[in-house]
Amino acid sequence: MWVIAAILLVALMIPIAAILVDSPLGRSMARRLEGPPFPAGGPEVKALERRIELLETELEDLSRSLAGMHDELQFVQRLLEDPKKKQS
């Protein structure tokens, strides 16, 4: 009786395992098992690190510029809201 139950269990697990392996989750696990796409410290990685540093620097510059423009816009809005109040 136990032998039949074990065979039935294995027979039912085969299609379930096939579905899981063929799913996006199974594919992502297989890619992780293959290893990283670039070797650690390779020239591609260093080039990407330089690009990321450059992009971060540009993003910081844009953020500062945007903050300055925001302050200028608030100043102009206050001037336009009540010009008589500002003149007296």
Instruction: Going residue by residue through the chain, which has 88 residues, state the pLDDT in tens, using 9 for 90 and above.
Output: 889 888 988 888 888 888 888 888 888 888 888 877 666 667 888 888 999 999 999 999 999 999 999 999 999 998 888 766 655 5
pTM for the whole structure = 0.45
- Residue 35 token pair: 């290893």
> CA nearest 54: which of 62, 65, 44?
62
Domain ranges for the chain = 1-35, 38-82
The four Cα atoms 82, 85, 87, 88 give a dihedral, to 10 degrees, of 170
